[in-house]
Amino acid sequence: MSGLAAMARSMGAIITGEDQESTELTQSLIASGIPVVIDRVGAIPSDCDGVIVSAAVPETHAARISAAKRGIPVLTYAQFLGQLQSTRTGVSIAGTHGKSSTTALLGYILIEAGLDPSVIIGATCTQIGGGSRTGSSNIPHGPLAGRPGILVAEACEYTNSYHSHTPVIGLINNIEADHLDWFAGIDTIIESFHQFAMRLPTVPHGGRLLIAHDGAFKERIVEGLQCSARTFGTDPRADYRVEFDHTTRRARVVEGFQPILEWTPPLPGMHNRLNGAAAGVLALWLGADRASIERGLSTFAGVDRRSQWLGEYATKDGGKAIVLDDYGHHPTECRVTLDAIREKYQPKRLVCVFQPHQHSRTRFLLEDFARSFMAADRVILPDIYFVRDSEEERAAVSARDMVDRIRALGGSAVYAAPFNAVVRTLQHELQDGDLIVTMGAGPVFKIANALLANDPEAAMR
């Protein structure tokens, strides 16, 4: 929402906002000239032309009720984004995992190539200027020169919000079971992604889909599409084959028998190499030159809260422990991130503080979560972050259930709450050579920051 607000303002709109609490994001918006009211529910300006709401704002919210009474249009975030995309050459990045990273990476590559894109992501990326940027209204050069400017957007499947997007080009990175508080199961998720792909225009109108060869149910997704559809992945049958040389640490994309991209990935893990390949292929489709793409792929620093380095903690035995923070909140994300961290840092012990996000997700995917944490040497779990679920769902599962499952599989796990208790546990347990990563979509990063400040109570603020 903050990125969309900044983008709309840069396009000439007059924007005000409302949020439940003051955060770094709201303070940043205020500093940029966008007024944000805190905890004044339903405060709509007298001269308001429209209300834009996030998926978290229910129809019973005072602002929506007030807007309805005054006849003011109410659009969701995705609907408004779709309207902006319709004025540009829209590119939507979808998939269960990797959306933010791939969107930011593609945006960064296009900037490197001088194509001046507009970009909006659900995270912060310093290399594109934050959570969004507004680029040229027309593509400045290349084979698509003169067409409406590029707008790259992260496309989220929750509540089918990406069905409001209006892309010309789409990516589906992967498909797995998630958001099971909304979707009935994997079949409805696949159908949702299929409907997203169906929104792409026909081949004569430039419609193109890039989809993972494996792990994205491609046969079911591409059925009946009127756009062009190509695949990428490590499978030799993929249209764009991704290869990695462990000796030289070089990755490349091969089309047929011809290498079309080659780079040294700065971020560890096969998932990051696949994200890079997808972004590189899309950049080629959009007219970026190979040299700029390879330079961008080799120098991308990632987005905040994705295996982000925070510092080193002085352990009680006189040594140091590396402290990272990550947004992973799905079993696959947790597993591949932990594997990548171990590959890059090779710590003596990998300690993960995981804050489960949503009781429904935790209950539905409990066994998968437990197995994903076999990649860590030690797991510490605070309480589940309560968001969107019912009180009945809240009572059905707890962090202790996940601790029990990890232990049953032979892993080392402990429950600790509240956050200051987690910090004290880390202060007592961490040893020289350890690496600790806080992980989750909630405020678990406060634990890492409090640990580095050597102030357990800071985690409670």
Confidence at residue 105, expressed as pLDDT on a 0 to 100 scale: 98
Under the banding of pLDDT at 50, 70 and 90, the label for residue 247 is: very high
Q: What is the dihedral of CA 179, 210, 132, 355, to 10 degrees?
A: 30
Confidence at residue 282, expressed as pLDDT on a 0 to 100 scale: 98
Confidence at residue 246, expressed as pLDDT on a 0 to 100 scale: 92
Confidence at residue 388, expressed as pLDDT on a 0 to 100 scale: 80
* Residue carrying the six token digits 């959306």: 99
Question: Is the sign of the CA dihedral 309, 310, 314, 317 positive or negative?
Answer: negative
39 pLDDT higher than 90: no
Under the banding of pLDDT at 50, 70 and 90, the label for residue 416 is: very high
Asked whether 17 and 26 are in contact (CB, 8 A), the reply is yes
Under the banding of pLDDT at 50, 70 and 90, the label for residue 56 is: confident
- DSSP character at residue 184: S
Which range is least confidently modeled, 65-74, 346-355, 415-424?
65-74
42 pLDDT higher than 80: no
43 pLDDT higher than 90: no
To the nearest 10 degrees (0 to 180), the angle between helices 99-112 and 270-285 is: 50
Q: Which of 150, 54, 156, 152 is nearest to 99 (CA)?
A: 156
In CATH terms, is domain 308-460 a member of 3.90.190.20? yes
Residues 96-145: tens digit of each pLDDT: 999 999 999 999 999 999 999 999 998 889 999 888 999 999 999 999 99
Where do the domains of the chain lie? 2-72, 79-299, 308-460
Under the banding of pLDDT at 50, 70 and 90, the label for residue 44 is: confident
Element at 343 (helix H, strand E) = helix 331-345
Confidence at residue 211, expressed as pLDDT on a 0 to 100 scale: 98
Under the banding of pLDDT at 50, 70 and 90, the label for residue 353 is: very high
Residues 276-300: tens digit of each pLDDT: 999 999 999 999 999 999 999 999 9
34 pLDDT higher than 80: yes
23 pLDDT higher than 90: no
Under the banding of pLDDT at 50, 70 and 90, the label for residue 204 is: very high
Residues with Cβ within 8 Å of residue 264, at least 6 apart in sequence: 249, 250, 251, 298
pLDDT winner (highest mean) among 9-18, 63-72, 104-113: 104-113
Element at 399 (helix H, strand E) = helix 399-408
Residues 444-458: tens digit of each pLDDT: 999 999 999 999 999
191 pLDDT higher than 90: yes
Residues with Cβ within 8 Å of residue 411, at least 6 apart in sequence: 370, 373, 374, 376, 379
21 pLDDT higher than 90: no
Confidence at residue 389, expressed as pLDDT on a 0 to 100 scale: 86
Look at the domain 79-299 and name its fold: UDP-N-acetylmuramoyl-L-alanine:D-glutamate ligase (3.40.1190)
Residues 251-278: tens digit of each pLDDT: 999 999 999 999 999 999 999 999 999 9
In CATH terms, is domain 2-72 a member of 2.60.120? no
162 pLDDT higher than 90: yes
Read off the pTM.
0.90
Asked whether 16 and 34 are in contact (CB, 8 A), the reply is yes
Under the banding of pLDDT at 50, 70 and 90, the label for residue 58 is: confident
Under the banding of pLDDT at 50, 70 and 90, the label for residue 330 is: very high
308-460 shares the fold of 2-72: no
Cα separation, 178 vs 460, in Å, equals 29
Report the half-sphere exposure of 369 (CA within 13 A, side-chain side): 32
To the nearest whole percent, how much of the chain has pLDDT over 70? 99
